[in-house]
Amino acid sequence: MADTYDLLVLGSGPGGYVAAIRGAQLGLKTGIVERELLGGICLNWGCIPTKALLRSAEVLHMMQHAQDYGLKVAGEIEADLDAVVKRSRGVAKQLNQGVTHLMKKNGIAVHMGSGRLTAPGRLTVTSEKGEEELQARHIILATGARARDLPFAPADGKRVWNYRHAMTPPTMPDRLLVIGSGAIGIEFASFYNDMGADVTVVEMLDRIVPVEDAEVSSFLEQSLTKQGIRILTSAGVEALKVSDDGVTAAIKSKDGKTADETFSHVIVAVGIVANTHDIGIDQLVELERGFIQIDPYGRTQTEGLWAIGDCTPGPWLAHKASHEGVTAAEAIAQDLGKGGNPHPMNRRNIPACTYCHPQIASVGLTEAAAKEAGHQVKIGKFPFIGNGKAIALGEAQGFVKTVFDAATGELLGAHMIGAEVTELIQGYTIGKTLETTEAELMETVFPHPTLSEMMHESVLSAYGRALHI
Q: Could you give the residue numbers annotated as active site?
A: 448
- Give the number of other CB atoms < 10 A from CB of residue 307: 28
Hey, is 387 helix, strand or coil?
A: coil
- What phi and psi, each to the nearest 5 degrees, are found at residue 399? -160, 165
Hey, is 332 helix, strand or coil?
A: helix
Written as one string, the DSSP assignment of 107-118 is T-EEEESEEEEE
Hey, is 124 helix, strand or coil?
A: strand
Angle at CA of residue 232, ends 227 and 235, nearest 5°: 165
Distance CA 12, CA 41 (A): 9
392: left (phi over 0), alpha (psi -120 to 50) or beta: alpha
List the alpha helices (DSSP H) in 81-182: 81-105, 163-167
- Give the number of other CB atoms < 10 A from CB of residue 448: 11
Sign of CA dihedral 437, 439, 444, 449: positive
Distance CA 181, CA 287 (A): 27
3-state SS string for 279-302:
CCCCCCCCEECCEECCCCCCECCC
Distance CA 313, CA 296 (A): 11
- What phi and psi, each to the nearest 5 degrees, are found at residue 128? -65, -25
Q: List beta partners, residue 201.
A: 178, 231
Q: Find the farthest-apart pair of alpha carbons in the chain and give their distance in angstroms, rounded.
A: 71
Angle between the 453-462 and 421-433 helix axes, to the nearest 10 degrees?
Answer: 50
Angle between the 214-226 and 183-194 helix axes, to the nearest 10 degrees?
Answer: 20
Hey, is 375 helix, strand or coil?
A: coil
Distance CA 273, CA 275 (A): 6
Cis, peptide link before residue 151, omega less than 30° from 0 = no
Amino acid letter for position 284: L
3-state SS string for 178-211:
EECCCHHHHHHHHHHHHCCCEEEEECCCCCCCCC
Hey, is 428 helix, strand or coil?
A: helix
